[in-house]
């Protein structure tokens, strides 16, 4: 389903297209002071590619995969980038590959522990079997998960808006009474 991408930056992208793999956000250009020569070592991560982050945490014992849902950009050369062989549903894969229960066993069989992070052994990961639903099912599941994610995010904003309204109403009461 995926192959390891060997695409290097070679000055195609500037510092405004550096992707933070940890947060899957664009890094601020001023936060990265890499020289143009050093940025040539960065890997290109296209939309839909998955990136392996080997930092281990309580949640991700052997590192984790993160899908690039931002757009075409670059990531540090320390991250392995895998491109899909065929077009896959972005929403489904975003959630599926980031789930320790689904990907954890695969990573456990395909990583070696280094000093501060896990290294992905390419020949081992590409030998693994990963059962996945059909394309139609992936699309349905992915869009449902995306909708749920958006509803959760919207509901998290409601208390903030209520607090803002209450604060503004108290200010108005003080000013006009």
User: DSSP letters along 149-174, please?
Assistant: HHHHHHHHHHHHHHHHHHHHHHHHHH
Q: How many angstroms separate the CA atoms of 75 and 19, rounded?
A: 5
For residue 171, name the pLDDT band (cuts at 50, 70, 90).
Answer: low
Cβ(111)–Cβ(63) under 8 Å? yes
- Tell me the pLDDT tens digit for each residue of 5-25: 999 998 888 888 999 998 899
Nearest alpha carbon to residue 51 among 72, 71, 75: 75
> Does the reported pTM lie above 0.75?
yes
> What are 163's two structure tokens?
């607090």
pLDDT of amino acid 170 = 62
> What are 128's two structure tokens?
């693994």
- Tell me the pLDDT tens digit for each residue of 38-74: 888 999 999 999 999 988 888 888 889 999 999 999 9
> What are 92's two structure tokens?
């489904």
Nearest alpha carbon to residue 68 among 47, 43, 96: 47
């Amino acid at each position: 389903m995926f192959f390891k991408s060997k695409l290097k930056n070679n000055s195609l992208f500037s510092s405004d297209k550096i992707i933070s793999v940890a947060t899957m956000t664009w890094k601020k250009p001023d936060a990265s002071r890499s020289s143009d020569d050093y940025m040539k070592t960065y890997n290109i991560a296209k939309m839909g590619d998955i990136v392996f982050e080997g930092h281990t945490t309580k949640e991700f014992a052997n590192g984790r995969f993160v899908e690039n849902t931002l757009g075409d950009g670059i990531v540090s050369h320390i991250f392995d980038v895998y491109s899909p062989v065929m077009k896959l549903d972005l929403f489904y894969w975003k959630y599926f590959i980031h789930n320790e229960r689904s990907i954890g066993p695969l990573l456990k069989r395909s990583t070696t522990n280094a000093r501060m992070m896990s290294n992905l052994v390419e020949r081992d990961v590409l030998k693994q079997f990963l059962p996945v639903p059909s394309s139609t099912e992936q699309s349905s599941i992915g869009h449902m998960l995306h909708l749920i994610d958006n509803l959760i995010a919207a509901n998290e904003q409601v208390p903030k808006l209520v607090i803002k309204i209450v604060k503004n109403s108290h200010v108005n009461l003080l000013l006009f009474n």
